[in-house]
Chain A
């Protein structure tokens, strides 16, 4: 088997099992109260990390580029209580415009 197919199949098998693990093995079951209380913090910590890695991550660690200005514009839109679609459009348009300059 070629290297490509090994990567595709192994990564696929891992990812499928990661995603299925909870719903298959723990579905409908209440987690222990302490763990459930800890998982309340997963969305804040993971979303914050995704904001950081998606706006600053690059090939070699940190890469500051037009994305950051786009995300800044999105932050202003969020602060002004713009709907989600507008927030996303503002981010993309601002980034595209900065790249044109």
Chain B
């Protein structure tokens, strides 16, 4: 725990720069804060859900399977990877390995955020399924902690967007054009960059960010999809020896 993190505020002012939340109150309600923070990316997420529905149904995954995949896997990049491997004539094993590798980071995230979750086993199970990059990223409080209510609210917005948009893509087809046409593929790195800047405070955190980014960049040209991000996540384990 960071020394400055002693406050028990659900959303401490420390975690997010004032520019990211215009609240005057030091105690913004967590759920509402989650809605507010996820609103800018929900449209981008929905447009990629449509794109996934189109890609999946045109690459022979049928109509029902892509929607079930969005409802159960609920993780964009892995779903795209699996669908495009099958589209390229890849084997079942190749599609599974690519998608599972891409989602391996959720194991690290899940363990790291575990102590923020409470309540019944059923509740913890369902709330844990709302963990996606975007909901986890906007829930950052700094010092490695997250606000569970922000994560849950953000996830509850993204989930119906993603699943509904997939159905729209499967059945509605290409009415809307590619999300790339509207630059929506740049919305995600922009979101992650803004949140990166808001969580990086100490020298240790800056070093971890540079190491993670550099490692991902170095591996990107030749490593299979998912490996660069998992390797960068593993960079945090160097924190076992540095304080």
The number of residues on chain B lying at the interface, defined by a beta carbon within 8 Å of a beta carbon of chain A, is 106
Select the residue from A47, A53, A55, A85 with max chain B CB neighbours within 10 A.
Answer: A47
Cβ of A3 to closest chain B Cβ, rounded Å:
5
By a CB distance below 8 angstroms, the chain B residues around A3 are: 86, 92
**Beyond A50-B189, A71-B186, 15 extra complex contacts between A and B, CB < 8 Å:** A8-B73, A16-B129, A19-B110, A20-B124, A23-B114, A25-B114, A26-B111, A40-B236, A52-B220, A71-B193, A74-B190, A88-B41, A92-B44, A92-B183, A94-B186
Q: Which of A5, A40, A91 has the most CB of B within 10 A?
A: A40
List the B residue with the shortest CB-CB distance to A100. Answer: B181
CB-defined contacts of A37 to chain B, threshold 8 Å: 1, 144, 239-240, 243
Q: Which residues of A contact B51 (CB under 8 A)?
A: none
Q: How far is the CB of B75 from chain A (nearest CB, A)?
A: 6
Is B156 an interface residue, CB under 8 A from the partner?
A: no
Q: Are B110 and A91 in contact, CB atoms less than 8 angstroms apart? A: no
Residues of B within 8 A of A5 (CB): 65
Chain A, interface SS category? helix
Closest to B113 in A: A22
Chain B proximity mask over A30-72: 1 for CB below 8 Å, otherwise 0: 1100111111111111111111111111010110001100110
Can you give 18 A-B contacts (C-beta < 8 A)?
Answer: A4-B60, A7-B92, A7-B96, A10-B96, A11-B79, A11-B99, A12-B68, A14-B100, A20-B129, A44-B212, A48-B210, A49-B212, A50-B192, A52-B220, A71-B186, A74-B194, A87-B40, A96-B182
Task: Give bound CA distance, A71 to B183, whole Å.
Answer: 10
* Interface size, A (range): 35 or more
Closest to A97 in B: B183
- How far apart are B123's CB and chain A's nearest CB, in angstroms? 9
